[in-house]
């Protein structure tokens, strides 16, 4: 077995570029010996370090943390580093599950809407408790509604995904009775059921639903 390897040989063995090896050298993560004509030579110890770097990178460990471990390597430091990565991966898994559930729920809603064949329909539907984000503002026009949605979407409630269109406006009872359907008290965005941060809850119960398919101006005429 050889005791020293050139940069080209190491790159070929590990299927990585020589530029990557030079980067490791620049970061003082893996510094080879220099032979005649300043050629780089990697020792068996360097090969071991490269194995460590490759394994830790596959676990998502940052290069600066790998360097810190290699400079102060011990069993306890490796345990601490891997425990941190273990927790990070767990959080990422939970986040992916969160996204998966949200997208599946959105797909179901869109399929239901796509199968709606009537021009409009009024019916009752039971809903569970729903977490919402509120934005209190003066809303008197369609442009105000669009702006309110944008503001709500930009707020950080455990991530509001682009596919969330569960947005609505709230009218007080007096305005409804006076047929003032465009002077809203606030806007709301329905959040994922797993959201930890929210402003309030739309309580579970039976709600009156108007489902409509067609031009917005016709909808305004139906409401009036």
pLDDT in tens, 14-54: 888 999 999 999 988 888 888 777 788 888 888 888 888 88
Note whether 140 and 215 are same-domain residues: yes
Note whether 109 and 130 are same-domain residues: no
The rounded distance, in Å, linking the Cα atoms of 166 and 102 is: 12
Note whether 92 and 126 are same-domain residues: no
Mean pLDDT in residue range 121-148: 76
Determine the structural domain holding residue 100 and report its residue range. 74-115
Mean per-residue pLDDT of the chain: 79
Residue 219 is encoded by which pair of tokens? Answer: 């909808």
DSSP 31: -
The rounded distance, in Å, linking the Cα atoms of 34 and 76 is: 33
The residues that bridge with 212 in the sheet, in sequence order, are 120
pLDDT in tens, 197-214: 788 898 999 998 888 777
> What is the pTM assigned to this prediction?
0.50
**Continuous H helices in the chain:** 7-14, 18-26, 44-58, 63-71, 75-114, 142-154, 173-177, 216-223
Note whether 124 and 211 are same-domain residues: yes
Note whether 162 and 183 are same-domain residues: yes
- Kindly list the distances between the CA atom of residue 220 and the CA atoms of 27, 81, 170, 216, in Å, as whole numbers in the listed order: 64, 60, 16, 6
């Amino acid at each position: 077995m050889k005791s020293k390897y050139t940069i080209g040989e190491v790159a070929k063995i590990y299927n990585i570029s020589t530029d990557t090896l030079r980067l490791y050298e620049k970061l003082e993560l893996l510094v080879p010996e220099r032979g005649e004509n300043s050629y780089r030579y990697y020792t068996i110890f360097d090969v071991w370090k490269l194995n460590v770097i490759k394994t830790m990178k596959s676990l998502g460990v940052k290069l600066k943390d790998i360097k810190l471990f290699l400079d102060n390597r011990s069993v306890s430091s490796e345990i601490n580093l891997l425990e941190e990565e273990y927790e990070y991966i767990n959080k990422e898994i939970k986040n992916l599950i969160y996204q998966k559930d949200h997208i599946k729920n959105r797909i179901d809603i869109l399929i239901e809407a796509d199968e709606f064949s009537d021009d409009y329909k009024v019916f009752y539907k039971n809903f569970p408790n729903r977490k919402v984000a509120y934005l209190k503002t003066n809303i008197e026009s369609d442009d105000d509604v669009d702006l309110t949605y944008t503001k709500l979407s930009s707020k950080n409630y455990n991530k509001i995904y682009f596919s969330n269109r569960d947005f609505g406006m709230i009218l007080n009872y007096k305005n409804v009775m006076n047929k003032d359907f465009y002077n809203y008290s606030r806007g709301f965005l329905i959040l994922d059921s797993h959201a930890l941060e929210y402003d309030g809850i739309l309580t579970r119960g039976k709600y009156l639903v108007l489902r409509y398919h067609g031009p917005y101006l016709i909808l305004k005429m139906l409401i009036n």
